[in-house]
Amino acid sequence: VTQTTLSVEDTAGIIRALQDRFPALQAPAAESICYATTNRQEAVKDTAPGADLYLIVGAPNSSNSRRLVEVAERAGATMSLLVQRAAEIPWNDIGNISTLGLSAGASAPEIIVDEIIDAFRQRFDVTIDLAITATETEDFPVMRVLRDVELTRADMAFVNGAA
């Protein structure tokens, strides 16, 4: 048993090699790979070709986010970078780009993606083409112990990345 941020395709080759060596090995079902990881990797793979720059929003210690940078480059983006905030974008190094790809690791708050879009709008004439490659319908109920906890505005701002 292992946990990975490798794609379904990447793990398939490893599983085949292991099954060749150990014929009784039972492989996990493809759907056991985290849906958020799979969906984001597929979205980046579909949208990276033709991108002058592909930004991935996420932490440098996030295996998921680092893998998305690799996926973007392998799929054809000219350059791919991992950033945590708009302030980390190397504006002098990226030059004039005509096509930007933008995605985020599974745990990156959407408010930071919005911050980066705003930073590009301040510097460029931006047209957004939203690429929807999957619909996520997973529902994670709040733990019973937390259901009746009152949240303040400060709590909600923190949860939404504004604090």
Q: Are 53 and 80 within 8 A, CB to CB?
A: yes
Name which residue leads in pLDDT, 125 or 33.
125
3-state secondary structure of 101: strand
Q: Which residues pair with 54 in a beta bridge?
A: 80, 101
Residue-range domains of the chain with CATH: 1-33 (no CATH), 34-138 (3.40.1010.20)
Those residues with Cβ within 8 angstroms of residue 119's Cβ, 6 or more apart along the chain or in another chain: 86, 89
Residue 162: per-residue pLDDT: 62
Name which residue leads in pLDDT, 94 or 55.
55
Section 123-147 average pLDDT: 76
